[in-house]
């Protein structure tokens, strides 16, 4: 069995499963957020009754993160609906925007978009917050009401996005009926070269198979090249499995996975026991591709979908209006470190926005010094508009006052986010080019799409 089949077999209480089998799977964690949480709660109440209790109050994790820093009253109200539900159910893990469990959330636009407006429990973007807060464990099944839930496959678990109806059912029962996906194997070999990042791996792969090339399939990333990838790198790759239509993305378990998971579960007091899965010798794949990491170059997915692959160096004639670094995919500490490495001591020539995925990342950037300056200050000195209000921000467009949202037609934006269908970051007539944080930085310095290797310090 493949890694995905082994996890699903175990979660279904069976000795083995095969691609195409329909099995009832036990969930380890159900995650929801402010956009889908209220709808999921509505389904749960409608189907299980107004007085029903969730199947396990320790396994439903609620993380507001999407439309938070906006004056839009309906969006603010969504956070309040989550808080009411948490109180009603006694849910253990709720990463609220405010500290008062009886309060209500109102963003104050008068304080501007840059200074933090959240309390001490807020955790930022759900997919980055889940591992940071110790909710991702090898061998487990994670369902989330968000398509990029697949990011947690970096931790050797089966993680997939589900709709509100399915999530309402999981909330009440802890189970879901799933068809076991076929598995595509991507064998990563060698090491990435300077200026090339994990984002380039996944943009290369999606370019190879197309933005629907893995529809309802598991994408298994293995091979000796995995050892050279940090957990942040693996998260970036697994995150974008859905951009090829994948049901899930998954990595093998190794010492790096163990170190991360053990540190985070211990720090946050979450469950520390887990059982990783190892691949069998007789795994069966529907497709196999070898990716030679040494040969990859800075890669861009052009408008209008993540499969429009080109090399950054082929696109130098494309003039840009804006650059953006942020999101679960591209707003991690390591992403900002690479962003800053290219920008350090220079000045951007187009509007450039930086949105860390989580408050912990804000803290990292404001407390890591390079030669007396923090990374945060280096980015601000370079002209980047850095906000402390960690969250999804303009990755998903959002209400019109969302920080970094593209509100004018025709703008071209290079972005470290994960999705670029028309209107994704705001105006339907804008164009988004997906790239690594290093490529975004180099492009922000020149105002056109630029291969970061042209600008990297020796």
Interacting residues with ligand SF4 (CB under 6 A): 66, 125-127, 146, 148, 327-328, 392, 395-396, 417-418
Q: How far is it, in rounded angstroms, from Cα 429 to Cα 87?
A: 42
Identity of the residue, 152 or 395, whose beta carbon is nearer to ligand SF4 in the bound complex:
395
Nearest-approach distance from CB 277 to ligand SF4, in angstroms = 26
Identity of the residue, 132 or 327, whose beta carbon is nearer to ligand SF4 in the bound complex:
327
Nearest-approach distance from CB 239 to ligand SF4, in angstroms = 8
Identity of the residue, 136 or 327, whose beta carbon is nearer to ligand SF4 in the bound complex:
327
Helix axes 37-48, 164-173, angle to 10 degrees: 60
Bond preceding residue 439 cis, omega within 30 of 0: no
Tokens of 242: 């859905």
Tokens of 101: 């469990």
Alpha helix (H) residue ranges in 282-393: 327-330, 333-343, 359-367, 375-381
Closest by Cα among 207, 227, 206, 226 to 217:
206
Identity of the residue, 200 or 335, whose beta carbon is nearer to ligand SF4 in the bound complex:
335
Q: How far is it, in rounded angstroms, from Cα 420 to Cα 399?
A: 17
Tokens of 308: 């429009």
Nearest-approach distance from CB 127 to ligand SF4, in angstroms = 6
Nearest-approach distance from CB 395 to ligand SF4, in angstroms = 3
Q: CA geometry: angle at 340 spanning 435 and 127, to 5°?
A: 55
Nearest-approach distance from CB 319 to ligand SF4, in angstroms = 25
Nearest-approach distance from CB 324 to ligand SF4, in angstroms = 11
Identity of the residue, 105 or 253, whose beta carbon is nearer to ligand SF4 in the bound complex:
105
Please give the C-alpha separations between residue 328 and each of 66, 382, 392, in angstroms, as whole numbers: 11, 23, 8
Q: How far is it, in rounded angstroms, from Cα 249 to Cα 238?
A: 5
Burial class (CB in 10 A: 0-12, 13-18, 19+), 414: buried
User: 301: which strand partners?
Assistant: 309, 434
Identity of the residue, 157 or 451, whose beta carbon is nearer to ligand SF4 in the bound complex:
157
Nearest-approach distance from CB 397 to ligand SF4, in angstroms = 9
Nearest-approach distance from CB 393 to ligand SF4, in angstroms = 8
Tell me the backbone φ, ψ of residue 394, rounded to 5 degrees.
-85, 0
Phi-psi region of 200 (alpha: psi -120 to 50; beta: other; left: phi over 0): alpha
Pairing mode, strands 93-94 and 60-62: parallel
Identity of the residue, 89 or 389, whose beta carbon is nearer to ligand SF4 in the bound complex:
389
Identity of the residue, 192 or 235, whose beta carbon is nearer to ligand SF4 in the bound complex:
235
Q: How far is it, in rounded angstroms, from Cα 271 to Cα 262?
A: 10
Beta-carbon contacts of residue 18 (< 8 Å; ≥ 6 apart): 5, 180
Identity of the residue, 176 or 425, whose beta carbon is nearer to ligand SF4 in the bound complex:
425
Nearest-approach distance from CB 402 to ligand SF4, in angstroms = 11
């Amino acid at each position: 069995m493949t890694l995905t089949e082994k996890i699903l077999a175990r979660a279904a209480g069976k000795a083995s499963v095969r691609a195409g089998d329909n099995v009832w799977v036990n969930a380890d964690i159900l995650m929801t957020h402010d956009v889908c949480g209220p709808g999921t709660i509505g389904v749960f109440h409608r189907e299980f009754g107004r007085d029903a209790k969730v199947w396990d109050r320790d396994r439903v994790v609620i993380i507001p993160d999407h439309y938070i820093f906006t004056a839009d009253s309906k969006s603010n109200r969504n956070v309040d609906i989550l808080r009411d539900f948490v109180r009603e159910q006694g849910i253990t893990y709720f990463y609220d925007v405010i500290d008062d469990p009886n309060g209500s959330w109102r963003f104050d636009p008068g304080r501007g978009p840059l200074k933090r407006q959240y309390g001490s429990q807020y955790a930022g973007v759900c997919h980055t917050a889940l591992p940071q807060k110790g909710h991702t464990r090898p061998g487990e099944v994670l369902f989330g009401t968000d398509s990029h839930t697949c990011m947690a496959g970096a931790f050797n678990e089966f993680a997939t996005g589900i709709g509100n109806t399915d999530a309402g059912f999981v909330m009440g029962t802890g189970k879901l009926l799933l068809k076991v996906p076929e598995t595509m194997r991507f064998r990563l070999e060698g090491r990435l070269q300077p200026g090339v990042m994990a984002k380039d791996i996944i943009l290369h792969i999606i370019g190879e198979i197309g933005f629907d090339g893995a529809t309802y399939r598991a994408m298994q990333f293995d091979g000796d090249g995995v050892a050279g990838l940090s957990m942040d790198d693996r998260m970036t790759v697994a995150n974008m499995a859905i951009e090829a239509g994948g049901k899930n993305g998954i990595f093998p378990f190794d010492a790096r996975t163990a170190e991360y998971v053990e540190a985070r579960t211990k720090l946050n007091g979450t469950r520390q026991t887990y059982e990783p899965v190892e691949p069998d010798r007789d795994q069966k794949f529907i497709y196999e591709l070898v990716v030679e990491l040494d040969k990859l170059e800075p890669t861009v997915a052009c408008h209008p979908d993540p499969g429009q692959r080109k090399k950054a160096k082929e696109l130098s004639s494309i003039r840009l209006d804006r650059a953006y670094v942020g999101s679960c995919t591209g707003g991690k500490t390591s992403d900002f470190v690479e962003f800053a490495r290219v920008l350090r001591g220079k000045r951007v020539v187009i509007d450039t926005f930086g949105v860390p995925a989580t408050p912990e990342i804000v803290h990292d950037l404001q407390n890591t010094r390079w030669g007396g300056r923090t990374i945060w200050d280096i980015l601000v000195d370079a002209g980047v508009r850095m906000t402390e209000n960690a969250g999804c921000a303009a990755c998903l467009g959002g209400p019109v006052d969302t920080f970094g949202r593209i509100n004018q037609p025709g703008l071209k934006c290079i972005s470290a986010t994960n999705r670029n269908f028309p209107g994704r970051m705001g105006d339907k007539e804008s164009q988004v080019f997906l790239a690594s944080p290093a490529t975004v930085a180099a492009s922000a310095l020149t105002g056109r799409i630029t291969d970061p290797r042209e600008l990297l310090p020796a």
